[in-house]
Chains A and B, each alone.
Chain A
Amino acid sequence: MSIFDLTIAEAGKKLAAKEISAVELTSAYNDAVTALNPRLNAYITVTPELALTQAKAADARIAAGQAGPLTGIPLAMKDLFCTEGVRTTAASKILEPFIPPYESTVSAQLLAAGAVILGKANLDEFAMGSSNITSGYGPVENPWKRNGSDAKLVPGGSSGGSAAAVSARLALGATGTDTGGSIRQPAAFTGLAGIKPTYGRCSRYGIVAFASSLDQAEPMARNVEDCAILLNAMAGFDTKDSTSAERAVPDFTKALTKGVKGLRIGIPAEYRLEGTNPEILALWDKGIEWLKAQGAEIVEISLPHTKYGLAVYYIVAPAEASSNLARYDGVRFGARVDGVDLIDMYERTRAAGFGTEVKRRIMIGTYVLSHGYYDAYYLKAQKVRNLILRDFTNAFDKVDAILTPTAPSAAFGLGEKMDDPVTMYLNDVFTVPASLAGVPAMSVPAGLNAEGLPLGLQVIGKHFDEETVFAVSAAIERAAGFSALPDVRAK
């Protein structure tokens, strides 16, 4: 058994028992990153020396008997989290020279728990994308391959670098952010578990904003338990984020063994979209059987406004983004291209600094907020968003959790689905509604398709009931017994 086969929970035990040291573990991961990152491009910035310093501190803490479950655990930090003294790009050229003088709350909490940060993980530029191809620092390669093919596949997005890093064992776990599915979809594409907690569960302070009313920090790891360990450290009320929730954080690991006996699991009819890949539908049916077999009651439910989810999302998110990204103007930080006057400088700076997808979303967002269109687009979208929230509230009167597929397909090839942006946007069809409603949702690896690529199932829960989401996800994980490994990985 290789050191890379350990999960966070297992590595934590070995560290505590001093069977391995944090420096040993970190060095192994540093070496793996050095070997494989040039190919996979999972990290934009690597910080091996800093990681070793943190590992030494972790060993000292372990020796002093002050270690927690994350002390000495090497992680990848999505490059959307501001890290003090370490360049933070949001995968955009406009932030290429930006070194934050402050630490995001979530990364600060992980560091305080003794975690080791190997580097800053690649992502779609400003988290806008579903395949990690919009990064200003090059696309990320999915460590998984189709059977008998060497074609490069996308890892999903926007947290594609985090997904590739954890999947290829270039990190034991990773942080991501999810705005419309940015962690659940890449988790599904790379055979990982990832949970988007309730909006407000984690602080957004220090996370480069994409769409403020949707953005949530979240963990991605090789299994459900590791996600629970990570979320325990990441979650919590923060006075610096007015939208973070002032409520106690339970120990999520305790929920893993709760089981699903007596739980009512909703199956939304509207997610059975016409034309959905039969393999995906078959896996969904399998998931239903697994839960039934473990004592859950399956309930047919309706989420009637599901079909408007994508449309609403692609109005609300770009609207907020168009405003959030106005600060990248070349005046105070980041890249600047000089011009003949202020407006010229803005235009040159933003033309050079932003990629095509970011520009597209700024334009969409500006349009839907503009005078004369606001009511027809933004206001209407907000109303429909409320209806989608009501769909979930109504459903949760009858059920404890909802089971759906995570994504409409397995990982696709680099360069596919590029003909028009809407095809790409369709990737988010199953993940967007939970984001709009702010409810917690987790993707858990559940099987492989005929081509040998991983597929995920999504468990959606009530507001602030991540515990049930973890319990159901753990039940699926146990039944699925997913143990496949990607072709490209540290061994």
Chain B
Amino acid sequence: MSYMLEGRTGAWEVVVGLEIHAQVISQSKLFSGASATYGGAPNAHVSFVDAGFPGMLPVINQECVAQAVRTGLGLKAEINLFSRFDRKNYFYADLPNGYQISQFAHPIVGTGIVEIELQDGTLKNIGITRLHLEQDAGKSMHDQHASKSVIDLNRAGVALMEIVSEPDIRSPEEAGAYLRKIRQIVRYLGTCDGNMEEGSMRADVNVSVRKPGEAFRTRCEIKNVNSVRFVMHAVEAEALRQIEVWESGGEVVQETRLYDPSKGETRSMRSKEDAHDYRYFPEPDLLPLILEQEFVDALAAKLPELPDEKRRRFCEEYGIPFYDAGVLVADQATADFYETVAKGRDGKLTANWMSGDFFAAMNRSGKSIENPPVSAADLGALLDLISDKTINGRIAKDVFEEMVETGKAPAAIVEEKGLRQVTDTGAIDAAVTKVLEANQDKVAEYKSGKDKLFGFFVGQVMKAMAGKGNPALVNEAVKKQLG
């Protein structure tokens, strides 16, 4: 059932489109040689070009262009071999030139498609309208001095990709899923780190509401939302506000709004009347950006496997369920870790261990996939001990905990603690006989029809064997002796 908001006059559909600003991973800025790395003392990464000094000219950074093309390829989008930069003119203290160099009329990437997955497993395509390259602005800080604002231009001129979606999103959940999917793709591609807390990825959210079947109504743009959760909240809060406006006989006016997470509401930032007239015109300091098809092809050839493809391959190659594969490909490092362990082993067993004990240990110890609680090689070795029946699954869990604790190799732990699985049927039979003798009353109950007690006997045998009995053999022996 699709997402609807109930108003006094009936159900309303929510229509959302996102403009995601993703900071490009590159050594230097889009048009200057200054470092594009995050951090550093204020105004330490600023060239005269970034600071808009007289006579300074922009020179395009080819790596940023390549990153935009990679991203476009990752979004299954058309790459425009001809694109052009324009100036977007407005005054602000952290915009040194008084204009932002952006791509207005001719973006480097055209239409594409992104597949999102909802919680119930539904898959949906969201259209990409375009992706264009532009410069970031600097940072104004108003809380550093009693009467003055201070400016940090480290970020000024860093390359941004603005990824614009079609208004295909119909719920907060879809908005969140879309944003996460874009973040996953750019992280896979290595074109943006996707860190929303640091501001290297942020979203402008366009929201409108309508009665089912209607044409689009007026939309409002919520600027600069900086987390997935806030985007989802902002969509809902803004949709509810608009429904209230329409239902009380008013009219939603097109405007730019801000989301206030502390109050969970949006508020007006500037109306259409105060909207900037950006006076776009072609940037005369730069020639049009002409790409060779070979350049694009070379980038396409070296593109990493993307999450959707990887997920489908994992299902086929390792025989694991679609859902599990989705968890494993959530990020590149986890997927790589999985593949390192699963290569030449039981893919399902590997998947179970990773989504079970491994993730649990990782979360518990505050570690990460880059700095895992147990190395891929050690986890693999542990699975090998299970597969070759050196230990059973029950013991393996203990060994795993020991590995997390001590960092020792699984084989060493098994040897040290004598945890080898007992497959000697003589020893197993003896243990079974002992247990049955000690529980004659239960045996009688079992024989009179209380089948459930079978598990009890197995458990007692395993206990007597300190957990080391081969479970299949123990089962078999219990069954045999009970007749």
Hey, which bits of chain A sit against chain B, CB under 8 A? 81-82, 88, 90, 95, 98, 100-102, 104, 204-209, 211-213, 239-243, 319-320, 322-323, 325-327, 329, 331-333, 342-343, 346, 366, 369-371, 374, 378
Contact = CB atoms under 8 A, between A and B. Distances in A.
B57 A369 contact: no
A293 B483 CA distance: 129
A207 B285 CA distance: 12
A30 B76 CA distance: 67
Contact of B57 (A81, A242, A370): A242
Given A346-B91, A370-B277, A374-B281, A323 B54 contact: no
Contacts of B58: 242
B140 to A, nearest CB: 9
A326 B281 CA distance: 14
A271 B168 CA distance: 58
Given A98-B54, A102-B48, A208-B55, A323 B287 contact: no
Given A240-B57, A323-B98, A331-B96, A212 B281 contact: no
A344 to B, nearest CB: 12
A212 B285 contact: yes
A232 B12 CA distance: 72
B473 interface: no
B89 A326 contact: yes
Q: Helix, strand, loop or mixed for chain A's interface? A: loop
Contacts of B53: 100, 102, 327, 332-333
A152 B89 CA distance: 41
18 contacts: A88-B54, A95-B54, A102-B55, A104-B55, A209-B54, A211-B284, A241-B57, A242-B58, A322-B279, A326-B89, A327-B52, A332-B51, A332-B52, A333-B51, A333-B54, A342-B92, A366-B279, A370-B279
Nearest to A102: B48
B82 to A, nearest CB: 16
B278 to A, nearest CB: 8
B99 A213 contact: no
A323 B279 contact: yes
B54 A90 contact: yes
Given A204-B57, A242-B58, A331-B96, A320 B284 contact: yes
A208 B54 CA distance: 5
A213 to B, nearest CB: 4
A219 B51 CA distance: 30
Contacts of B52: 327, 332
A332 B96 CA distance: 8
B306 to A, nearest CB: 33
A242 B59 CA distance: 6
B98 A205 contact: no
B60 interface: yes
A342 B90 CA distance: 13
A329 B48 contact: no
Contacts of A371: 277, 279
A329 B91 contact: yes
Interface string B51-73: 11111111110000000000000
Contacts of B87: 323
B110 to A, nearest CB: 22
A319 B279 CA distance: 9
A366 B87 CA distance: 13
B93 interface: yes
A370 B87 CA distance: 13
A476 B216 CA distance: 69
A319 B91 contact: no
Contacts of B60: 242
B149 interface: yes
Contacts of B350: none
Contacts of A206: 55-56
B465 interface: no
Given A243-B287, A342-B93, A371-B277, A323 B55 contact: no
Contacts of A242: 57-60, 285-287
B475 interface: no
- In this complex, the interface size class of chain B, counting residues with CB under 8 Å from chain A, is 20 to 34
A82 B99 contact: no
A399 B278 CA distance: 43
Contacts, number: 102
Given A326-B89, A329-B93, 13 more contacts: A82-B54, A100-B53, A100-B54, A205-B56, A205-B57, A206-B55, A242-B60, A242-B285, A243-B284, A326-B91, A333-B53, A346-B91, A369-B279
B303 interface: no
A319 B89 CA distance: 11
B283 to A, nearest CB: 8
Contacts of A98: 54
- Chain B CB within 10 A, most for which of A81, A329, A343: A329
Interface in B263-305: 277, 279-281, 284-287
A323 B58 CA distance: 14
A95 B55 CA distance: 13
A101 B48 contact: yes
Given A90-B54, A98-B54, A331 B151 contact: yes
Interface string B145-157: 0000101000000
A327 B87 CA distance: 13
A46 B55 CA distance: 21
Contacts of A343: 91
Interface in B107-156: 149, 151
Contacts of B48: 101-102
Contacts of A240: 57, 59
Contacts of A327: 52-54, 96-98
Nearest to B59: A242
B98 A326 contact: yes
Nearest to A206: B55
A396 to B, nearest CB: 22
Contacts of B98: 323, 325-327, 329
A212 B55 CA distance: 10
Contacts of A88: 54
Nearest to A382: B282
Contacts of A332: 51-53, 96
Nearest to B54: A208
Contacts of A209: 54-55, 285
Closest 4 CB pairs of A and B: A326-B98, A212-B284, A369-B279, A213-B284
B149 A342 contact: yes
Contacts of B55: 81-82, 100, 102, 104, 204-209
Contacts of A243: 284-287
A209 B54 CA distance: 7
B284 A326 contact: no
A461 B286 CA distance: 25
A242 to B, nearest CB: 5
A142 B279 CA distance: 39
Contacts of A322: 89, 279
- Chain A CB within 10 A, most for which of B97, B98, B149: B98
Contacts of B279: 322-323, 366, 369-371, 374
A243 B282 CA distance: 13
Contacts of A208: 54-55
B284 to A, nearest CB: 4
Nearest to A319: B281
A143 B111 CA distance: 63
A95 B280 CA distance: 26
Nearest to A333: B53
Contacts of A204: 55, 57
A323 B54 CA distance: 12
A205 B58 CA distance: 10
A295 to B, nearest CB: 39
Nearest to A244: B57
B281 A378 contact: yes
A239 to B, nearest CB: 7
B409 to A, nearest CB: 55
Contacts of A213: 284
A326 B97 contact: yes
Nearest to B90: A326
- Chain B CB within 10 A, most for which of A100, A208, A327, A374: A327
